[in-house]
Amino acid sequence: MSGMAEEEQPSNPIPPPPSHQPLPPFVEVMCKSSGRTRRFAAGTEAGFAIYLINKKLDIGLPLALHIEAVKEGEEPVSFGPNAVLVDYGDGWKLETVTDVEFAVGVGKEKRVQPTKVKIPKKQREIY
C-alpha cells in the first residue's frame, strides 16, 4: 500500500449513446459522374462536398446537383446544402445526383409544369 489516496475519477453524468460499432471518422460519397468515391470528414456539410466533387470533375462531365442516401427498396434521402452528411448504415450508400440523371429519371408526366396565373389588374397595382 503506497499511502497515497486513490484519485477519484470525475463521473460523466451523460452516458455515451449506445452503439454497436464505432462511427468511422469519415463518410464516403460515390460520384456518379466520375465513378470515383470521395471521402469527407465526419460533420461535412453536403454543399461543401458537392463543391469539392464538382471542382475535381473533368471538363464535360455532368455536375452534381445534390447528394442522396440510397438503398434498394427504400425511398432516397436527399441532403440539402447545409445538411451534415451521415452514413445511415447497412445497405445505405451516399451518391451524387446529376442534372442528366435528374432529367432522365423524371418523366414528363411526373415533372412539375409551370403554370401561368393571371393576376387581376387591381391586384397588380398593389404590388
DSSP string, 5-38: PPPPPPP-SSPPPP-SSPPPSEEEEE-TTT--EE
Report if residue 59 sits inside a domain: yes
Structure confidence at residue 73 (pLDDT): 96
Structure confidence at residue 122 (pLDDT): 59
Cell 462536398 locates to 49
Give the integer Cα–Cα distance in Å for 90 and 14.
27
Report if residue 10 sits inside a domain: no
Report if residue 13 sits inside a domain: no
Q: What is the pTM of this model?
A: 0.63
Report if residue 113 sits inside a domain: no
What is the domain range of residue 66? 26-105
CA distances (Å), origin 105, targets 98, 108, 109, 114, 125: 10, 10, 11, 19, 42
Report if residue 76 sits inside a domain: yes
Report if residue 95 sits inside a domain: yes
CA distances (Å), origin 40, targets 80, 81, 95: 16, 15, 13
Structure confidence at residue 99 (pLDDT): 82
3-state secondary structure of 126: helix
Structure confidence at residue 6 (pLDDT): 52
Structure confidence at residue 111 (pLDDT): 45
Report if residue 47 sits inside a domain: yes
Report if residue 11 sits inside a domain: no
- How many domains does the chain contain in total? 1
- 99: domain CATH number is 3.10.20.90
CA R_g for the chain: 24
Across the chain, which has 127 residues, the per-10-residue mean pLDDT values are 54 59 84 97 97 96 96 96 95 94 54 55 54
Grid coordinates of 55: 471542382
DSSP 72: T
